[in-house]
């Protein structure tokens, strides 16, 4: 079930909302939490009921391991829990990729399992690992099974985050003031959800048509069309994930739960490290807290302390940063294109750190432009299905496939024909619409406050009510197709 589907908005959500607060008023709180967890499992199983036993098994085993960690603080339990979670993720997400490369490397013909990736496995795996580590560190006190199941399955964040801590979310469910309907939270939640719905339906889904069109003729795509396609994907991904994050936060507010901000105008960043820190904030935070710092300590103890590895602290840090983002790339997908994308992310952060150490300062617009262009460039690997596709698109972006402008511009830009620019038609449809959307995308991301900034000044006034009504109704009327969010496949 999708947030941007009529059955979710007009059927599932009202039933869950009414049921939750009615049960809060007439029954013990564990009943309403069980209701919300059961509805969240229905939400998850609506996509493919076959994987419901998998998430239930994962929840049950992690709960038992977490309880053992709270009671006994045995490191062996923590290691077993992490191995179980990563093993489950590795089997479903990476086993076929491993077999493919084994076949390629050793010229074997081992049949692939063709496993279907269970929805949200990357997100609930990391969330459960963070829970186990927090249990081991003594940061979890309440280990009630219903509470834990709700913590993992709460439908606003289940499919694509944000990744949340048990100690952050569960006290909100246990607060007596949150058991009653809060009309201010409802007004704010509807406001934020409507903005997210608009981003998804009216922006991301329209950018996607240009991207899909361009990816169909990569063998012949030329310079201007290639940049149109890559910029369209850059904005599609932005508004798709930003829209999902808004909708998740808005939905949680309806139940008086405040989820952490997961997206903070990354395309306004003036350096690559800042951009990374603003994109998928909770994933970055998880990777630093639960991967980077433990990895740094482990590498320092096992390798960097050896006389054979006499490296400066800056070089050690750079290696750790590149490894961290390599893992981030692998987490996003099983493919060499994701591995390269992760490496390029890490290299971008390291280069910026070196740049800043040398105290080199650029004009703000140039710094922003370099950051945005680099992000747009490496997203080619994120979007491409394989390395061949990525290389074809990069070849065109570098002008190696030639330059073709629309025939209508020939009388204005005819001098460009002397430098290899040709005028004619290209297979890319609706070029002017795509260009208009790209310009609109730049205006929105650079000229307006983001949703989290708007939330700070939100007041349920008549003007806001009219604004919400317009964008909500307009989005609903344009739900001609219901498309998945891009992060669902991760």
What pLDDT was estimated at residue 96? 92
Dist. CA 126–CA 24, nearest whole Å = 30
Q: Give the containing element (helix H, strand E) for 6.
A: helix 6-7
Residue 429 banded pLDDT, cuts 50, 70, 90: confident
Among 181, 199, 233, the domain-final residue is 181
Domains in the chain, number: 2
- In this structure, the answer to whether residues 374 and 276 fall within a common structural domain is yes
- In this structure, the answer to whether residues 168 and 63 fall within a common structural domain is yes
The answer to whether residue 460 sits within a structural domain is yes
Local structure of residue 270 (DSSP, 8 states): S
- In this structure, the answer to whether residues 195 and 177 fall within a common structural domain is no
Percentage of residues in the chain with pLDDT exceeding 70? 92
- In this structure, the answer to whether residues 166 and 280 fall within a common structural domain is no
- The DSSP bridge partners found for residue 263 are 279
Percentage of residues in the chain with pLDDT exceeding 90? 63
The answer to whether residue 407 sits within a structural domain is yes
Count helices and strands (H / E) in the chain: 23, 2
Dist. CA 341–CA 329, nearest whole Å = 6
- In this structure, the answer to whether residues 200 and 68 fall within a common structural domain is no
Dihedral sign (CA 449, 450, 456, 459): positive
Among 181, 198, 223, the domain-final residue is 181
- In this structure, the answer to whether residues 216 and 358 fall within a common structural domain is yes
- In this structure, the answer to whether residues 219 and 321 fall within a common structural domain is yes
Q: By the 8 A CB rule, do 243 and 199 touch?
A: yes
What pLDDT was estimated at residue 207? 95
Among 181, 213, 247, the domain-final residue is 181
Residue 310: pLDDT above 70? no
Q: Which residues are catalytic?
A: 332
- In this structure, the answer to whether residues 391 and 474 fall within a common structural domain is yes
- In this structure, the answer to whether residues 176 and 256 fall within a common structural domain is no
Of 87, 19, 93, 77, nearest in space to 57 by CA: 87
- In this structure, the answer to whether residues 372 and 409 fall within a common structural domain is yes
Dihedral (Cα; 6, 170, 66, 75), 10-degree rounding:
120
Residue 425: pLDDT above 80? no
pTM: 0.92
Dist. CA 335–CA 342, nearest whole Å = 11
Dist. CA 371–CA 274, nearest whole Å = 9
What pLDDT was estimated at residue 464? 86
478, two tokens: 């344009």
Of 271, 284, 254, 19, nearest in space to 126 by CA: 284
Q: For helices 205-215 and 431-447, what crossing angle results, to 10°?
A: 130
Weakest mean pLDDT among 180-189, 233-242, 289-298, 360-369: 289-298
Q: Which backbone phi and psi does 253 adopt, to 5 degrees?
A: -65, -30
Q: Which backbone phi and psi does 403 adopt, to 5 degrees?
A: -130, 125
- In this structure, the answer to whether residues 329 and 458 fall within a common structural domain is yes
What pLDDT was estimated at residue 355? 85
List the domain range (segments joined by +) for residue 123: 6-181
* Burial class, 443, CB count within 10 angstroms (exposed 0-12 / middle 13-18 / buried 19+): exposed
The answer to whether residue 286 sits within a structural domain is yes
Beta strands per DSSP E along 224-298: none
Dist. CA 64–CA 84, nearest whole Å = 13
- In this structure, the answer to whether residues 225 and 358 fall within a common structural domain is yes
Instruction: Report the mean per-residue pLDDT for the chain.
Output: 89
Q: State how far Cα 466 lies from the chain centre.
A: 30
Dihedral sign (CA 434, 436, 440, 446): positive
Q: Which backbone phi and psi does 124 adopt, to 5 degrees?
A: -75, -20
What pLDDT was estimated at residue 220? 86
6, two tokens: 């009529």
The answer to whether residue 1 sits within a structural domain is no
Residue 294: pLDDT above 90? no
């Amino acid at each position: 079930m999708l947030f941007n589907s009529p059955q979710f908005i007009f059927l599932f959500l009202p039933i869950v909302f009414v049921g939750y607060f009615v049960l809060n008023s007439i029954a013990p709180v564990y009943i309403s939490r069980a209701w919300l967890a059961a509805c969240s499992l229905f939400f998850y199983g609506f996509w493919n009921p076959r994987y419901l036993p998998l998430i239930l098994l994962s929840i049950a085993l992690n709960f038992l391991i977490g309880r053992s960690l709270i009671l006994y603080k045995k490191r062996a339990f923590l290691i077993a829990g992490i191995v179980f979670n990563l093993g489950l993720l590795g089997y479903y997400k990476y086993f076929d990729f491993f077999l493919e490369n084994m076949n390629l490397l050793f010229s074997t013909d081992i049949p692939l399992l063709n496993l279907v990736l269970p929805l949200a496995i990357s997100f609930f795996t990391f969330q459960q690992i963070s829970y186990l580590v927090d249990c081991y560190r003594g940061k979890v006190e309440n280990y009630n099974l219903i509470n834990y199941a709700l913590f993992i399955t709460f439908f606003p964040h289940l499919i694509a985050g944000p990744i949340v801590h048990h100690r952050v979310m569960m006290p909100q469910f246990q607060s007596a003031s949150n058991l009653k309907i809060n009309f201010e939270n409802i007004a704010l939640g509807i406001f934020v959800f409507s903005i997210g719905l608009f981003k998804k339906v009216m922006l991301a889904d329209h950018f996607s048509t240009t991207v899909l069109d361009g990816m169909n003729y990569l063998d012949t795509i030329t310079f201007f069309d290639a940049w149109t396609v890559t910029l369209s994907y850059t904005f599609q991904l932005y508004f798709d994930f930003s829209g999902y994050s808004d909708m998740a936060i808005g939905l949680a507010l309806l139940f008086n739960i405040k989820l952490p901000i997961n997206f903070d105008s990354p395309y306004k960043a003036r350096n690559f490290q800042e951009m990374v820190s603003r994109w998928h904030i909770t994933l970055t935070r998880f990777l630093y807290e639960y991967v980077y710092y433990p990895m740094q300590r482990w590498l320092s103890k096992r390798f960097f302390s050896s006389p054979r590895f006499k490296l400066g602290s800056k070089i050690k840090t750079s290696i750790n940063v590149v490894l961290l983002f390599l893992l981030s790339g692998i987490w996003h997908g099983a493919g060499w294109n994701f591995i390269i994308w992760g490496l390029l992310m890490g290299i971008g952060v390291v280069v910026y750190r070196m740049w800043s150490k040398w105290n080199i300062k650029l004009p703000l617009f140039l710094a922003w432009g370099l950051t945005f262009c680099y992000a747009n460039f490496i997203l080619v690997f994120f979007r491409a299905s394989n390395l061949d596709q990525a290389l074809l698109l990069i070849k065109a972006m570098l002008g190696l496939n030639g330059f073709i402008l629309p025939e209508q511009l020939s009388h204005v830009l005819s001098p460009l024909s002397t430098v290899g620019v040709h005028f004619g038609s290209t297979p890319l449809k609706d070029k002017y619409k795509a260009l208009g959307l790209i310009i609109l995308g730049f205006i929105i991301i650079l000229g307006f406050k983001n949703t989290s900034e708007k939330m700070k000044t939100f007041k349920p006034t008549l003007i806001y009510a009219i604004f919400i009504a317009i964008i909500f109704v307009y989005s609903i009327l344009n739900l001609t197709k219901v498309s998945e969010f891009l992060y669902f496949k991760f």
